């Protein structure tokens, strides 16, 4: 029977699933998640007596996986999430909207109700998690306050809290005998609202600051301050995960107004608990336990972000690592809708204003650079080195080459060279764009030119559209060996097509083929004239 399974077999199976995940076996992550869920549910059903005797598990879930082991596996599972894959715009927007609504519309009510419940009279050691407030007795004043409170609506006809009194016949206790009417208000909805409000604030802070989980947990209960018409937030920055709390460096970063509002909400929301714990940190637990932690755990930040994203969008695998890179990805992505979204998120009139604003936050710039380096480092390095070694061609290539010569560029690309390029692009106040193009080579648009690329002029887009690349006329391309080879192939293609035509062929078709040949030959000539080593026999360009 199933009940004969040993504790060691249960634990070994979970470890086997973990090993499969480490080996990147297809479907292993699902198997790993399912294994833990299976044993947990089996143990729970056994504990509740819902299984026949022969199918019951002899061990509880904590025997199979201790608390420390669960924490280890949780961190392992989180590491499997591709932190380089940011949250999609269609995920960010609804969660952002929900967070703003809670912070600006619902926060005053939630904070008031939470404070009232925290201040109520309670029996010692009892009623730590209240469910009802009675119309009579010690809570009658609280009952009146809640009954008369104006509660905002979540949607038409549905309020944030349902404080409608309920009267029930209950059996009398104590000296009185018989039955009596008891009127109460349900208050079980308040704590979930407190948790959601906290999660909304954490999401906003993580989205707009570029802070890591540990840095969010280390925020002090201090409001943002105004300087030069902008809001700034004091933070502690940790360079590496191994840095101790004492090794953190104090810093100040610019933040949008909504972040300042989120900070203010959290200061008020946990003021009582912060005082009780004698804590100076912004985020503390909403229920004080015997351990009396003075700040939240790092894993709590992850759970808050994951929980909110899943509740609003249904996406169950969101990661705080993804969140801090989402703004960076929107900055360098080519989607026009993303350009509009990031402008709306920051509340700026233009995209350029947003970029210049972000340039003042080194954490956000670092996220952009980190993301670009992860996606394009090899490409950018090869581009820069090929340019330096005279192995590329095109007007953009020549301009970058001249800049290198002015800066006494040594020919070896370092991380700082790429970082400088990215920073200069952001300072230009326009989107940075790096992408391969169908003909080969790269499109590099960073706003240095007043004249937009032909693809942008044709589509009216604010970002290059490589699918409409007019490589014969665009000045934003860097041509390499692949692109030159493809240009030669295009010439041969049209020459072959032309050879199939006879004297009776349509003149417009003949003219089209001849024009394509001439344009491609002219393009090769332009590239060759810029690089004398280029000729029809040999084209010395760098592979990227």
Which residues, in sequence order, are CB contacts of 163 under 8 Å at separation 6+? 146, 147, 149, 151, 185, 186, 187
Please provide the average confidence, as pLDDT, over all residues in the chain. 78
Using 50, 70 and 90 to split pLDDT, how confident is the model at 129? Answer: low
Measured CA to CA, the distance from residue 79 to residue 71 in angstroms comes to 12
Q: What is the mean pLDDT of residues 390-402?
A: 66
* Residue 281, strand partner residues: 220
pLDDT in tens, 432-491: 566 778 887 778 775 545 677 888 888 877 677 878 888 888 888 888 777 888 899 989
Third-level CATH fold of 85-130+188-326: hpI Integrase; Chain A (1.10.443)
pLDDT in tens, 157-176: 899 998 888 888 877 766 56
Instruction: Give the global pTM.
Output: 0.63
pLDDT in tens, 55-89: 888 888 889 999 888 878 877 876 666 555 677 88
CA proximity to 270, closest of 294, 256, 255, 286: 286
Report domain extents, the chain: 2-79, 85-130+188-326, 333-544
Looking at residue 414, its pLDDT comes to 40
Looking at residue 290, its pLDDT comes to 79
pLDDT in tens, 285-328: 888 877 788 888 888 998 999 999 999 998 887 877 788 777 77
214 φ, ψ to 5°?
-65, -35
pLDDT in tens, 183-214: 888 888 999 999 999 999 999 999 888 888 88
Query: Token pair of 426, please?
Result: 């952001």
pLDDT in tens, 171-184: 776 656 677 778 88
Query: Token pair of 67, please?
Result: 């608390």
Q: What is the largest CA-CA distance in the chain?
A: 117
Residue 298: how many CA atoms within 13 Å on its side-chain side?
A: 13
The CB density around residue 282, as the number of other CB atoms within 10 Å, is 25
Contact (CB, 8 A) for 357 and 351: no
């Amino acid at each position: 029977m199933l009940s004969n399974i040993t504790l060691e077999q249960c634990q070994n199976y979970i470890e086997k699933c973990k090993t499969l995940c480490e080996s990147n076996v297809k479907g292993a992550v699902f198997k790993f998640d399912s294994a833990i869920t299976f044993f947990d549910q089996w143990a729970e059903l056994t504990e509740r007596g819902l299984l026949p005797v022969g199918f019951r598990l002899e061990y509880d879930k904590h025997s199979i996986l201790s608390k420390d082991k669960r924490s280890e596996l949780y961190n392992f599972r989180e590491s499997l999430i591709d932190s380089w894959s940011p949250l999609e715009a269609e995920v960010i927007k609804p969660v952002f909207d929900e967070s703003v609504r809670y912070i600006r519309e619902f926060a005053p009510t939630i904070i008031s109700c939470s404070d009232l419940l925290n201040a109520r009279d309670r029996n010692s050691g009892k009623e730590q998690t209240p469910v009802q407030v009675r119309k009579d007795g010690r809570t009658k004043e609280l009952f009146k306050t809640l009954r008369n409170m104006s509660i905002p609506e979540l949607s038409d006809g549905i309020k944030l809290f349902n404080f409608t009194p309920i009267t029930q016949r209950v059996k009398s206790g104590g000296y009185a005998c018989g039955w009596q009417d008891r009127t109460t208000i349900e208050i079980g909805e308040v704590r979930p609202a407190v948790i959601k409000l906290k999660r909304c604030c954490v999401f906003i802070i993580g989205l707009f600051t570029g802070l890591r989980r540990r840095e969010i947990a280390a925020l002090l209960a201090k409001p943002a301050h105004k300087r030069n018409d902008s809001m700034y937030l004091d933070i502690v920055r940790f360079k590496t995960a191994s840095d101790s709390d004492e090794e953190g460096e104090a810093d100040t970063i610019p933040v949008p107004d909504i972040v300042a509002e989120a900070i203010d909400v959290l200061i008020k929301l946990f003021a009582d608990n912060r005082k009780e714990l004698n804590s100076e940190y912004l985020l503390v637990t909403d229920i004080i336990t015997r351990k009396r932690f003075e700040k939240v755990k790092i894993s709590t930040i992850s759970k808050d972000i994951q929980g909110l994203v899943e509740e609003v969008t249904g996406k169950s695998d969101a990661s705080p690592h993804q969140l801090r890179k989402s703004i960076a990805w929107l900055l360098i992505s080519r989607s026009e809708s993303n350009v509009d979204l990031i402008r709306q998120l920051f509340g700026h009139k233009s995209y350029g204003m947003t970029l210049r604003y972000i340039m003042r936050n080194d954490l956000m710039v670092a996220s952009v650079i980190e993301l670009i380096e992860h996606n394009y480092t090899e490409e950018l390095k090869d581009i820069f080195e090929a340019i330096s070694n005279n192995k590329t061609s095109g007007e953009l290539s020549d301009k970058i080459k001249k800049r290198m010569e002015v800066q006494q560029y040594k020919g070896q690309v370092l991380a700082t060279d790429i970082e400088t390029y990215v920073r200069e692009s952001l300072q230009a106040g326009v989107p940075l764009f790096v992408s391969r193009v169908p003909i080969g080579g790269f499109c590099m648009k960073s706003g240095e030119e007043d004249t937009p690329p032909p693809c942008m002029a044709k589509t009216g887009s604010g970002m290059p559209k490589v699918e409409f690349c007019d490589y014969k006329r665009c000045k934003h391309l860097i041509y390499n060996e692949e692109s030159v080879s493809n240009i030669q192939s295009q010439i041969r293609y049209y020459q072959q097509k032309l050879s199939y035509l006879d004297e009776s062929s349509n003149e417009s078709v003949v003219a089209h083929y001849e024009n394509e040949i001439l344009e491609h030959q002219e393009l090769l000539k332009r590239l060759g004239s810029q690089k004398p080593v280029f000729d029809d026999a040999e084209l010395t360009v760098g592979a990227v």
